[in-house]
């Protein structure tokens, strides 16, 4: 056997071993992913049950409070009530206390199960991430063994960057889902539970204290519902401003920038140059998200006192410029903020646009994007 044949034989054996290892790792990753999905469904079910238990406990607590007050009234004026009424008042108060204790115990058990599932999901997530990482590394090895050696370093870098970027997107999506879940749970969900209790209270007030007192309770209830509606609208607006579809890009940007200025305390100015007109939906969403992400990145990382935004609309192109006076960064350093920049570049590349970033530590940041109008025909 010649030397070349020996090398090819060794290479074939290596490729076979690498391929089998890749399949085994893939199976481990898929098994973990299946278990992850199953546990995630169970976790969501438990979380829903916890919310329902909390609502039930709150209602029971309200009834228990009324029962205790009734018992105290009976005990205070013992001579005015019959033995049957006294016994019923005591039994009712005791029944509600027992129900409340059982609900609290069930809630505690569900919370413990929920915490255990969250820990298992975290470990499974790490296993899936590790498996995906190893598969990407194996793919690089396969390309190294079968491809042109001069492209190896480029393949490794691209694979690492795409892997990190993909994982960052997944992580960002999960964080956004958690944030949205918390906002709904702590905001509208809690308010609706409160509304349920208040409606029961209104009924009791109407029966015991009359129409005027009930009317006051209804006014308070109306304010609670109004505040909850405003909170729901804010959450919907953060997900996707419906005004983009109704009134277009420029007015929606102006409204968002005004709200961002009030929320962040940063002076944000917006200037629009050129004739205002409508663009395809994908185009308007892309520009809006670009500006939104630039403002959020500046607020989170740059600590600016002011941000200037300029949108220029011409017959040939759309140009957006975002400038801040923050602490800036090294554009060659990919450690901090690099994923946000990669995301911006990917978004703009889909529109055949150009993105340029000018920033230095202590000198602020200027980001400019230019999108040719001709690219809109392909949207």
User: Does residue 222 sit within a domain?
Assistant: yes
Q: What percent of the chain has pLDDT over 70?
A: 73
How many C-beta neighbours within 10 Å does residue 308 have?
16
Cβ-based burial of 310 (10 A; exposed 0-12, middle 13-18, buried ≥19):
middle
Residue 209: pLDDT band (50, 70, 90) is confident
DSSP-assigned beta bridge partners for residue 269: 308
Residue 250 structure tokens: 């420029």
Cβ-based burial of 175 (10 A; exposed 0-12, middle 13-18, buried ≥19):
exposed
> Same domain for 31 and 76?
yes
Residue 82 sits at φ, ψ, to 5 deg, of: -80, 165
Where does a domain end: 232, 261, 296?
232
User: Does residue 238 sit within a domain?
Assistant: no
CA dist list (Å): 24 to 12, 18, 31 = 18, 10, 11
> Same domain for 219 and 327?
no
The pLDDT, as a whole number, for residue 153 is 46
Q: Using one digit for the tens of pLDDT, what is the confidence trace for 103-117? A: 888 888 988 888 898
Q: Using one digit for the tens of pLDDT, what is the confidence trace for 281-309? A: 777 888 888 888 888 888 888 899 999 99
Residue 359 sits at φ, ψ, to 5 deg, of: -155, 145
User: Does residue 269 sit within a domain?
Assistant: yes
User: Does residue 106 sit within a domain?
Assistant: yes
> Same domain for 141 and 17?
yes
CATH label of the domain that carries residue 363: 3.30.565.10
Number of domains in the chain: 2
User: Does residue 161 sit within a domain?
Assistant: yes
> Same domain for 251 and 344?
yes
> Same domain for 143 and 43?
yes
Where does a domain end: 179, 202, 232?
232
> Same domain for 217 and 352?
no
Where does a domain end: 232, 267, 283?
232
> Same domain for 46 and 127?
yes
> Same domain for 194 and 226?
yes
> Same domain for 261 and 148?
no
What is the DSSP annotation of 303-333? --SEEEEEEEE-SSEEEEEEEE-S----TT-
> Same domain for 143 and 271?
no
User: Does residue 183 sit within a domain?
Assistant: yes
> Same domain for 226 and 247?
no
Which range marks the domain in which residue 87 is found? 3-232
Helix, strand or coil, per DSSP, at residue 145: helix
User: Does residue 26 sit within a domain?
Assistant: yes
The pLDDT, as a whole number, for residue 266 is 92
Q: Check residues 362 and 151 and name the one with the higher pLDDT.
A: 362
Residue 310 sits at φ, ψ, to 5 deg, of: -130, 130
Residue 343: pLDDT band (50, 70, 90) is low
Residue 178 structure tokens: 């958690």
> Same domain for 106 and 145?
yes
Question: Residues 160, 190: contact at Cβ < 8 Å?
Answer: no
- Name the average pLDDT for the chain: 77
| Range with lowest mean pLDDT among 119-133, 226-240, 257-271, 330-344 | 330-344
User: Does residue 194 sit within a domain?
Assistant: yes
Q: Check residues 343 and 292 and name the one with the higher pLDDT.
A: 292
Q: Using one digit for the tens of pLDDT, what is the confidence trace for 148-169? A: 444 444 444 555 555 555 555 4
Q: Using one digit for the tens of pLDDT, what is the confidence trace for 47-98? A: 888 888 888 888 888 888 888 888 888 887 777 778 788 788 888 888 888 8
């Amino acid at each position: 056997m010649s030397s070349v044949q020996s090398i090819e034989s060794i290479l074939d054996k290596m490729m076979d071993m690498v391929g089998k290892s890749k399949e085994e790792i893939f199976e481990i990753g898929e098994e973990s992913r299946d278990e992850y999905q199953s546990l995630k469904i169970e976790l969501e079910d438990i979380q829903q049950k916890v919310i329902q238990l909390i609502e039930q406990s709150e209602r029971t607590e309200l009834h228990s409070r009324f029962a205790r007050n009734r018992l105290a009234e009976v005990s205070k004026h013992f001579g005015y009530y019959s033995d049957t009424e006294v016994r019923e008042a005591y039994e009712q108060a005791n029944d509600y206390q027992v129900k409340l204790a059982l609900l609290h115990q069930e809630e505690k058990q569900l919370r413990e199960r929920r915490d255990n599932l969250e820990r298992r999901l975290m470990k499974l997530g790490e296993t899936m991430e590790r498996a995906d990482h190893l598969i990407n590394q194996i793919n690089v090895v396969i390309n190294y063994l079968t491809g042109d050696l001069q492209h190896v370093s480029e393949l490794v870098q691209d694979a690492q960057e795409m892997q990190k970027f993909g994982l960052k997107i997944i992580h960002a999506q999960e964080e956004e889902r958690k944030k949205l879940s918390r906002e709904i749970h702590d905001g509208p969900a809690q308010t609706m539970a409160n509304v349920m209790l208040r409606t029961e209270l209104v009924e009791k007030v109407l029966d015991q204290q009359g129409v005027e007192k009930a009317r006051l309770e209804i006014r308070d209830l109306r304010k609670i519902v109004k505040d909850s509606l405003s909170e729901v609208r804010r959450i919907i607006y953060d997900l996707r401003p419906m005004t983009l579809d109704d009134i277009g890009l420029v007015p929606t940007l102006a409204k968002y920038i005004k709200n961002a200025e009030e929320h962040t305390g940063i002076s944000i100015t917006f200037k629009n140059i050129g004739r205002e007109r409508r663009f395809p939906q994908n185009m308007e969403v892309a520009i809006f998200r670009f500006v939104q992400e630039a403002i959020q990145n500046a607020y989170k990382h740059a600590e600016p006192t002011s941000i200037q935004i300029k949108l220029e609309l011409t017959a040939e192109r759309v140009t957006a410029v975002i400038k801040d006076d923050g602490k800036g960064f090294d554009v060659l350093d990919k450690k901090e903020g690099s994923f946000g920049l990669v995301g911006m570049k990917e978004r703009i590349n889909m529109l055949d646009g150009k993105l340029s970033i000018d920033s230095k530590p202590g000198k602020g940041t200027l980001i400019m994007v230019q999108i040719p109008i001709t690219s809109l025909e392909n949207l």
